[in-house]
Amino acid sequence: MPHYHTLGSIPHKRHTQFRKPDGGLYSEQLFSTEGFSNDYSLLYHMHPPTQITHTDAPVDMMPIVAEEKMLKHRSFEGFRIQPEDDFLRSRKPVLVNSDCHIVLASPRQGMNDYFYKNADADEILFIHEGSGKLLTQYGELSFAYGDYLVIPRGTIYQIRFETDRNRLFIVESFSPVRYPKRYLSKYGQLLENSPYCERDIRAPQLLQTIAASGDFLIKTKKKGILYGLHYAHHPFDVVGWDGCCYPFAFSIHDFEPITGRVHQPPPVHQTFEANNFVVCSFCPRLYDYHPNAIPAPYNHSNIDSDEVLYYVDGDFMSRKNVTRGMITLHPAGIPHGPHPGAVEKSIGKKETAELAVMVDTFHPLQLTTSALEIENEGYTMSWAE
């Protein structure tokens, strides 16, 4: 999905001899999330990336589903997820289906003695609180409040936090995460009418080649099972790479909202898409400027999608009692809209400072035990006058 990028040293031609100063060959690796038929990158290692020395006992990481079927609006207090020291242990799936898992995390620390690879899913890590660096074979990405980190499946990474108070909203996608098709030219460039462009996409920088040998643990998740794979060489032994498949960062603060004379539908906020779901960004923006405009969203029927809204910051004029980190789930099959009084109250307002991330799924979501532990009871009745 990202544009072509390169770092470090690479040979003039792919799949040709590329030798070290001592005459030995660098080890070439093709990295792609869709076989040989889509975007890819080529990485050049000091050592073959295949040398496993031993393995640990596997650990079951599958979420525990508490409710498979339901038809009522739900609300959850995301900041009630308790902080934990370890990054992986802190990740709590709350809403899941066969296309994606929606996860909350509050890690106090990153990964100091292991690396992580999600072999199941592309990951979108939204940074609600905290800052630090994402370290990968491709280089490093600095991140802070409001950043999306988009990590292709199979990427080996470490997170290093500069803070001990961190809150993440994570979407694991079992299909590749892409730019929306309507934002792209037929040649793949982001169009002039897109709410962001290539200048807003931050590719990895500061490639550091670590040629160390020893015992390097890569915790790898596959089919919901976490495997501990020990390698003989540091995974970040890459001297150079190029291609179009790599992790990148995009700040929600660089999303340019599309507005109009009357209220615009949610697709104008779309930021990413995958198979059977989309991700949208609701950002500070001017309201509609028709003289009789109603800024509050109109009631709408969710017939073909579950709508998940993760509230980040600001004042949400269409909802009552919104807190930072709250999640609302409005399932397919019943309509929803502004809370009582919100429509009249919105008339005459010129702008909003709201900040939120929305995930619309086209297959129903299931609630996990972690979701029930942080649920706001009675939310489905909150539209009563």
Tens digits of residue pLDDT in 343-360: 888 888 888 888 999 999
Same domain for 210 and 324, yes or no, is no
Same domain for 153 and 246, yes or no, is yes
Tally of domains in the chain: 2
| Edge-first strand listing for the sheet containing 167-173 | 65-67, 366-368, 92-96, 100-105, 167-173, 122-129, 147-151, 248-251
Q: Which of 236, 252, 268 lies at the terminal end of a domain, its last residue?
A: 252
Domain assignment of residue 8, yes or no: no
Domain assignment of residue 13, yes or no: no
Q: What pLDDT score does 179 carry?
A: 95
* Distances 207 to 43, 70, 138, 240 between C-alpha atoms, Å: 12, 48, 6, 8
Same domain for 234 and 331, yes or no, is no
Domain assignment of residue 67, yes or no: no
Fill in the DSSP letter of residue 89.
H
Q: Which of 198, 233, 252 lies at the terminal end of a domain, its last residue?
A: 252
Same domain for 95 and 233, yes or no, is yes
Same domain for 94 and 215, yes or no, is yes
Same domain for 317 and 197, yes or no, is no
Fill in the DSSP letter of residue 114.
-
Domain assignment of residue 362, yes or no: yes
Same domain for 227 and 308, yes or no, is no
Same domain for 236 and 297, yes or no, is no
Q: Which domain holds residue 228?
A: 30-59+82-252
> What is the token pair recorded at 234?
């540091």
Question: What pTM was computed for the model?
Answer: 0.95
Same domain for 189 and 277, yes or no, is no
Residues in the chain predicted with pLDDT less than 70, given as ranges, are: 1, 318, 385
Domain assignment of residue 369, yes or no: yes
Q: What is the DSSP string of 196-252?
A: S-GGG-B--B-------EEEEEEEEEETTEEEEEEEEE-TT-EEEEEES---EEEEG
Same domain for 152 and 244, yes or no, is yes
Same domain for 246 and 285, yes or no, is no
Domain assignment of residue 370, yes or no: yes
Same domain for 330 and 192, yes or no, is no
Residue 26 in contact with residue 239, Cβ under 8 Å? yes
Q: Which of 189, 221, 252 lies at the terminal end of a domain, its last residue?
A: 252
- How far, in Å, CA of 370 to CA of 147, rounded? 25
Residue 139 is part of a domain; what is its CATH number?
2.60.120.10
Domain assignment of residue 3, yes or no: no
Residue 297 in contact with residue 337, Cβ under 8 Å? yes
